[in-house]
Amino acid sequence: MNPRFPTPALPERWPNLAPPRLDVRQPARPAPPGWIRKIHWRAAIGALLLAGILHVTATLAVPLVGPGLAYQKLRELLPANTMVVVPPARPGKQLLPFLMPDAYYGICRFSLASEPVTVSAPLADLGWTLSLHTPQGDNFYVIPGQQLRTTDLSLVIVPAAEKSGDLIPAFTRRPAAASEDQIASPSEEGLVIIRAPLKGLAWKGEAEAALARAKCTPGLKP
Amino acid sequence: MRQFGHLIVNLLAIVVLGIGGGLGSAWYMVEAGSRLTTRSFGPWTTWIAAGRPDADPYTRAHTARNGLLPIASTLELSFYAKTDSDGDQLQSACDYAVTVEGLEGAWWDLAAFDRRGGVIPNGADRFTFSSDTAMREPDGRAVIVLARDARPGNWLPVGAGKVTLALTVQDAVLAAAVYAAGPIKPLPTIRKLGCR
């Protein structure tokens, strides 16, 4: 102690300057229910694995066994390799959900089991389409109509392995026309769909007449 | 006895969480989609790989489960709306104005369905408007009014219950932009006019 600067004696009644203890209470965490605390971590991982397996299996299985599969519905209604004209959808008379209501549809269920299938169809206007689908709904070919111009299409659907023409008997081959094309189908069966939207009632007859010319026939000649 | 109880709880947890979580998450991803499989523009949602042979398993499952036959999304897109532009459910008790502008040059079709994709019965036998059939305003817009009772102009009747709007747009440029997650032309707005 420096005698020149003596430390003043603290009064006995000096208040206690120690910081007050703050008794801050943390909000009580809700305790998990007893049954959750009983779950072992191995069981939790097992549940996750099972969930993952079921998730993948269910997702992959739906296109194979899905109850709403469009092809399964149409297969029961449509003969093979024949173009069927379906009038615009009306309540209770609708082939498939979300099908455009004011449109005629020409639908052909093709089967390539014995021979290729030739499709010929006019696409009369913008909005018209000709599309080819597998039974799973994959659209492997589509061609749209052009505005104010009728396009007469002719194409041959062949199994994917036959695209080269090697498996088509030589005597049935013929020179391809300028507008004719071979389309390789990834599946042996599928659907040809011609969509013909109506511009109004005045165009109904025109659309019907155009779709009446659409053909879907087995073999290489329409 | 206590260990037996633990075993039962653990087995139940595996079965319930495993089956519920696995099937529930699969159902959600197949029905509602996610940012991996769908793109949304305001109230409109589209499955970006619908109809494509190289579509992901969720899109293929969605297509199969709902009995759809989509045209490949390289050529045309189908957008679905279950809400208006403010996010409220579309229902037949309310009237809506759907304003189509910015789709010039593209062929489009707008139809009203029930939630399961069925056409809605109505006395006028009117179910859809397209770029060919909708009347235009002087500025080129097409305003389609969804209402139970007759309205002047492009009136699309809706019945009872909730409504799903389906917009089909045939435009390869738009389809490519959606697939590449790029900017696209503005899609129609759906504005609530009033409710009963």
pLDDT tens profile A144-188: 988 777 788 899 999 986 554 444 443 344 434 434 588 999 999
Burial of residue A68 (CB within 10 Å: 0-12, 13-18, 19+) is middle
The domain ranges of chain A are 34-65, 70-165+178-218
Per CATH, is A70-165+178-218 categorized as 2.60.40? yes
pTM of the model: 0.82
Q: Are residues B151 and B188 in the same domain?
A: yes
Average pLDDT over residues B115-129: 90
Q: Is the ipTM of this complex over 0.95?
A: no
Smallest CA–CA separation between A97 and chain B, in Å? 4
Q: Cβ of A219 under 8 Å from any chain B Cβ?
A: no
Quick one: pLDDT at residue A177? 41
- Phi/psi region, residue A98 (left: phi>0; alpha: psi -120 to 50; beta: rest), is left
Q: Do B66 and A197 touch (CB under 8 A)?
A: no
One DSSP character per residue, B64-99 reads: HHTT--PPPTTTEEEEEESB-TTSPBPBTTEEEEEE
Q: For residue B54, give the chain A residue with the closest CA.
A: A138
Q: Cβ of A59 under 8 Å from any chain B Cβ?
A: yes
Q: Write the CATH number for B84.
A: 2.60.120.600
Smallest CA–CA separation between A168 and chain B, in Å? 25
Smallest CA–CA separation between A140 and chain B, in Å? 6
Q: For residue B49, give the chain A residue with the closest CA.
A: A138
Q: Do B72 and A142 touch (CB under 8 A)?
A: yes
Say if CB A96 and CB A189 are below 8 A apart.
Answer: no
Q: Are residues B15 and B79 in the same domain?
A: no
Q: Are residues B77 and B14 in the same domain?
A: no
3-state secondary structure of B113: strand
Q: Which candidate from A39, A138, A197 shows the least CB-CB separation from B130?
A: A197
B196 pLDDT band, cuts 50/70/90, is confident
Q: Cβ of A199 under 8 Å from any chain B Cβ?
A: yes
Q: Are residues B2 and B57 in the same domain?
A: no
Q: Are residues B146 and B100 in the same domain?
A: yes
Quick one: pLDDT at residue A44? 83
Residue B72 CB partners (closer than 8 Å, separation 6+): A131, A139, A142, B50, B51, B52, B53
Q: Are residues B70 and B159 in the same domain?
A: yes
**Contacts of residue B113 in chain A, CB cutoff 8 Å?**
97-98
Q: Do B21 and A62 touch (CB under 8 A)?
A: no
Burial of residue B110 (CB within 10 Å: 0-12, 13-18, 19+) is buried
Q: Is the pLDDT of residue A51 over 90?
A: yes
Q: Are residues B3 and B70 in the same domain?
A: no
Q: Between A and B, how many residue pairs show a Cβ–Cβ distance under 8 A?
A: 195
Q: Are residues B89 and B150 in the same domain?
A: yes
Q: What's the total number of domains in chain B?
A: 2
Enumerate residues 125 to 184 of chain A having a beta carbon within 8 A of any beta carbon in chain B: 126-127, 129, 131, 133-134, 136-140, 142, 144
- Domain boundaries, position B176: 35-195
Q: Is the pLDDT of residue A36 over 60?
A: yes
Q: How far is B117 from B44, CA to CA, in rounded Å?
A: 16
Q: For residue B159, give the chain A residue with the closest CA.
A: A91
Question: Which residue, A90, A204, A88, A102, is CA-closest to B122?
Answer: A90
Q: Do A59 and B121 touch (CB under 8 A)?
A: no
A195 pLDDT band, cuts 50/70/90, is very high
Q: Cβ of A87 under 8 Å from any chain B Cβ?
A: no
**Contacts of residue A144 in chain B, CB cutoff 8 Å?**
75-76, 170
